[in-house]
């Protein structure tokens, strides 16, 4: 294949220093043509269908298209420009059309079924057998068994869905990037930590402004809600964030342009129609086909049970907060923009420390080195800096080795910036597989949105992470480990591929637990001024506060999960009931804190409207049951080993969970690690909600 176009060069790592928007369309067109030629050859009648003669060439071809389009999608997420967005949107329908055609190809579907029924199938490895079984399932879910007219409509739905989801995400990004606030009077910023003010001052200077500039990127706006004494300032920022990408958005001239209200309804209608075409009652049933959960009713029962367990704790949390706000802060009524501020003050009062105080002990280099040290000790690997072309000067690149052999590499893109989607995520640049006798090692993108290093008096200060941001980094690295430490060599079930969606959060949430272990934290903290590690007394206060407001936090996640499930289970957009009505019903049953009527959080709820979590947001709580129970095995082993890091348990977690990827059902992997099926007890104990 020609390598004049860097997007068509698969000889090594992506050439991010050379890729330009003008490369996208020629590369995608060439890869689509190549894939269609391969499909035409493979769908022709043949004799016996074999893995080597059928599955391998199909995987070889489609993998290259997936990798190239993955690079384009990644760049669109992290360095969005008008030119890149234009070519992304130009090519998205073509790529979507191809994958839909492939999923509906009756000849290929028939060959997979023939391979399943052949004598060869019994000789295939369990990983290959699972790939064949997954493919047959996916053909059925892709509409391969539909009559021609319905197939055509199904394809139209996929194309429109992809376009609307992209528009949803772009609206959120544009609304986020467009809003900013410049404060000229420093007195208005009373209560804000100095490093937050320095970052705002640096941003203003970078943009040629005087004063302090704030945006709707999380590291910029959230400290105002958490620390600013000015109630009016907190309200202004809360309203801007709660109404972005809605009909109530702050930018009056752009409200209609960026309002995601209609996009939400369109997506729900398209998903409902897709379910109907496939013979399901609702999209929730479609979503659960490749997941662990048995049915929407089963998920709702799980969530409502968790809500009932959490509700008394949430009510107690809120009552304590209201009493404190009234007695100590003079607030007779807590508004939504008061909650983070009052919670921070209550935590400081009760546990005698602040989030800002803790943050001083988590400079970026110390946190990253501490994370690497834990992973190296736990899984017997080494992590070292590596070299590769990157898409932004702040991105770093690393390699992971085990027994002297390369097992994976990853990009680390930590800071928030304009043109980068909010949130944190892991994505794969390429997956592990053996091709023509040569091992291809996996590569991951690890992306966060933390505050970049600030410049004070001409000197660059290290980026400081909140403890929550440390937890986020560990979470995403857990996903990365799942992708990179796999030993499976079959593409379709290597790493996170083929893992049930409601189990894919197990390794990520599992890694979060180490952020509360003294032996881990003591090696990843260093005060930004003194260099001293985190004091044991401060750690003890943090630990005492670990489950501060856990009832409220649990109920909030359950609320989001139930909203997602009901929107895709028993909501009819044609009924006259609005999405907001569904939200209000869920909150009426389970919430103890009801946001203001103007809150439009759903308009930027990218997980379910622009991500892969539609009728699947419950996965976070579902997988938390698995991760808490898995981590309990480490707690038990640590107790037996006198407090030492249980390396043998780490090796078992690597062997039974991380390395097997999607080559067997997630429940089998969990049971192989834990020796039994999962129990909710550890989650309730870790959350401070055990009976």
Would you state the pLDDT for residue 255? 56
Is residue 467 within 8 A of residue 480, CB to CB? The reply is: no
Q: Tell me what the mean pLDDT of segment 419-424 comes to.
A: 95
Which H helix or E strand runs over 450?
strand 443-450
Across the chain, mean pLDDT equals 95
d(C-alpha 387, C-alpha 396), whole Å: 8
User: Which residue, among 105, 74, 73, 116, has the nearest Cα to 92 in the 3D structure?
Assistant: 73
Q: How far is CA 460 from CA 146, 449, 516, in A?
A: 61, 19, 29
Are 441 and 408 spatial neighbours (Cβ–Cβ below 8 Å)? yes
Q: Would you say residue 579 has pLDDT above 90?
A: yes
Sequence-separated (6 or more) residues with CB below 8 Å from residue 383 = 372, 375, 376, 398, 399, 400
**Residue pLDDT, tens place only, 393-416:** 999 999 999 999 999 999 999 999
**Closest by alpha carbon to 456, among 196, 260, 164?**
196
Alpha carbons within 13 angstroms on the beta-carbon side of residue 455 total 6
Q: Which residue has the tokens 């390369």?
A: 406
pLDDT at 58: 98
CA 407 to chain CA centroid, nearest Å? 23
CATH top-level class for 261-353+549-617? mainly alpha
- Chain centroid to Cα 599, Å, comes to 23
Contact 525, 534 (CB under 8 A): yes
Q: pLDDT-based confidence at 1, cuts 50/70/90? A: low
pLDDT > 80? residue 497: yes
Residue 214: beta bridge partners? 181
| The Cα angle at residue 85 between residues 82 and 86, in degrees rounded to 5 | 85
At residue 640, the pLDDT reads 87
What is the C-alpha to C-alpha distance for residues 595 and 142, in angstroms, rounded to an integer? 39
Q: Are strands 443-450 and 405-415 parallel, antiparallel or unpaired?
A: parallel
Active site residue 194: no
Neighbours of 508 (CB within 10 A): 22
H helix or E strand, kind and range, residue 413: strand 405-415
pLDDT of res. 361: 97
Q: Domain spanning 6-145: which superfamily?
A: Endopeptidase. Chain P; domain 1 (1.20.1050.40)
Mean pLDDT within 67-89: 98
DSSP 89-127: HHHHHHHHHHHHHHHT-HHHHHHHHHHHHSGGGGGS-HH
CATH of 364-544, one of 1.10.10.60, 1.10.1370.40, 3.40.50.1950, 2.40.240.10: 1.10.1370.40
Q: Which of 420, 414, 457 is nearest to 202 (CA)?
A: 457
Q: Is residue 473 within 8 Å of residue 371, measured between CB atoms?
A: yes
pLDDT average, residue stretch 593-608: 96
CB 431 within 8 A of CB 66: no
First to last CA, the chain: 63
Q: Bridge-partner residues for 272, per DSSP?
A: none
Whole-angstrom distance, CA of residue 216 vs CA of residue 211: 17
Distances (CA, A) of 479 to 366, 482, 496: 21, 5, 8
pLDDT tens-digit series, residues 250-298: 654 455 789 999 999 999 999 999 999 999 999 999 999 999 999 999 9
Are 6-145 and 261-353+549-617 equal in CATH topology? no
CB 171 within 8 A of CB 258: yes
Is residue 3 scored above 80 in pLDDT? no
Q: Are 663 and 126 in contact (CB under 8 A)?
A: yes
Residues 437 and 433: their CA atoms lie apart, in Å, by 10
Helices 296-329 and 339-351 cross at an angle (nearest 10°) of: 70
At residue 69, the pLDDT reads 98
Helices (H), 545-655: 550-569, 579-590, 606-609, 619-640, 647-653
- Tens digit of each residue's pLDDT (9 = 90 or more) over 453-487: 987 778 888 999 999 999 999 999 999 999 999 99
pLDDT digits (tens, 9 = 90+) for 631-651: 999 999 998 888 888 899 999
DSSP letter, residue 183: E
Partnered with residue 412 across adjacent β-strands are: 396, 446
Quote the pLDDT of residue 456: 76
Give me the pLDDT at residue 511, please.
98
Boundaries of every domain in the chain:
6-145, 179-258, 261-353+549-617, 364-544
Phi, psi (rounded to 5 degrees) for 483: -75, -40
Tell me the percentage of the chain whose pLDDT exceeds 90: 93
Q: How far is it, in rounded angstroms, from Cα 617 to Cα 221?
A: 25
Residues 6+ apart with CB under 8 A from 447: 77, 78, 413, 420, 424, 425, 426, 427, 476
Considering only CA atoms, which of 305, 295, 303 is closest in space to residue 561? 303
pLDDT at 2: 52
User: Which residue among 476, 505, 512, 559 is the active-site one?
Assistant: 476
């Amino acid at each position: 294949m020609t390598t004049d176009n860097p997007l068509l060069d698969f000889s090594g790592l992506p050439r991010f220093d050379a890729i330009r928007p003008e490369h996208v369309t020629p590369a995608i067109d060439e890869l689509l043509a190549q894939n269609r030629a391969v499909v035409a050859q493979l769908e022709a009648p043949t004799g016996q269908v074999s893995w080597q003669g059928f599955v391998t060439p199909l995987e070889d071809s489609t993998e290259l298209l997936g990798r190239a389009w993955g690079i384009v999608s990644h760049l669109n997420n992290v360095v969005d420009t008008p030119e890149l967005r234009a070519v992304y949107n130009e090519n998205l329908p073509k790529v979507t059309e191809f994958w839909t055609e492939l999923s509906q190809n009756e000849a290929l579907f028939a060959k997979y079924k023939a391979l399943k029924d052949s004598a060869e199938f019994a000789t295939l490895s369990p990983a290959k057998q699972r790939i064949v079984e997954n493919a047959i399932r996916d053909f059925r879910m892709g509409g391969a068994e539909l009559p021609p007219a319905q197939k055509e409509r199904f394809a139209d739905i996929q194309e429109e869905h992809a376009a609307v989801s992209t528009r949803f995400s772009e609206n959120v990004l544009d609304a986020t990037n467009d809003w900013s606030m410049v404060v000229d009077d420093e007195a208005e910023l009373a209560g804000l930590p100095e490093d937050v003010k320095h970052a705002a001052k640096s941003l203003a200077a970078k943009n040629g402004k005087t004063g302090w500039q704030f945006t709707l990127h999380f590291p910029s706006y959230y400290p105002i809600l958490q620390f600013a004494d000015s109630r009016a300032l907190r309200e202004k920022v809360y309203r801007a964030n709660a109404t972005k990408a809605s009909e109530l958005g702050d930018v009056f001239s752009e409200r209609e342009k960026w309002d995601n209200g209609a996009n939400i309804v369109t997506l729900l209608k398209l998903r409902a129609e897709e379910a109907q075409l496939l013979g399901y009652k609702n999209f929730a049933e479609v979503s659960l086909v490749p997941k662990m959960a048995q049915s929407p009713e089963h998920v709702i029962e799980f969530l409502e049970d968790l809500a009932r367990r959490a509700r008394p704790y949430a009510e107690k949390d809120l009552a304590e907060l209201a009493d404190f706000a009234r007695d100590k802060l003079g607030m007779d009524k807590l508004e939504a923009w008061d909650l983070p501020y009052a919670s921070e003050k209550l935590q400081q009062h009760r546990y005698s420390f602040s989030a800002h105080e803790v943050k001083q002990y988590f400079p970026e280099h110390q946190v990253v080195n501490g994370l690497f040290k834990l992973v190296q000790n736990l899984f017997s690997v080494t992590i070292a800096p590596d070299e590769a072309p990157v898409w932004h000067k702040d991105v770093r690149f690393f390699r992971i080795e085990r027994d002297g052999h390369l097992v994976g590499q990853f990009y680390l893109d930590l800071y928030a910036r304009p043109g980068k989607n909010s949130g944190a995520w892991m994505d794969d640049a390429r997956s592990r597989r053996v091709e023509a006798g040569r091992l291809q090692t996996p590569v991951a993108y690890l992306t966060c949105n933390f505050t970049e290093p600030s410049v004070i008096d001409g000197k660059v200060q290290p980026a400081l992470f909140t403890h929550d941001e440390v937890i986020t980094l560990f979470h995403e690295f857990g996903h990365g480990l799942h992708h990179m430490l796999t030993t499976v060599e079959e593409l379709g079930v290597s790493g996170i591929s083929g893992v049930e969606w409601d189990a894919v959060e197990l390794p990520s949430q599992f890694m979060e637990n180490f952020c509360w272990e003294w032996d881990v934290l003591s090696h990843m903290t260093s005060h930004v001024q003194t260099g001293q590690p985190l004091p044991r007394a401060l750690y003890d206060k943090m630990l005492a506060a670990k489950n501060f407001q856990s009832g409220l936090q649990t109920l909030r996640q359950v609320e989001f999960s139930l909203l997602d499930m009901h929107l895709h289970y028993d909501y009819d957009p044609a009924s006259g009931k609005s999405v907001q009505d569904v939200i209000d019903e869920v909150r009426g049953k389970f919430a103890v804190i009801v946001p203001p009527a103007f809150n439009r959080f759903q308009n930027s709820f990218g997980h379910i409207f622009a991500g892969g979590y539609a009728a699947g947001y419950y996965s976070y709580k579902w997988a938390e049951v698995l991760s808490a129970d898995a981590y309990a095995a480490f707690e038990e082993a640590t107790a037996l080993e006198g407090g030492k890091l249980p390396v043998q348990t780490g090796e078992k977690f690597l062997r039974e969970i991380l390395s097997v990827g999607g080559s067997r059902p997630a429940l089998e992997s969990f049971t192989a690690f834990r020796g039994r099926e999962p129990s909710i007890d550890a989650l309730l104990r870790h959350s401070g909600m055990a009976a």
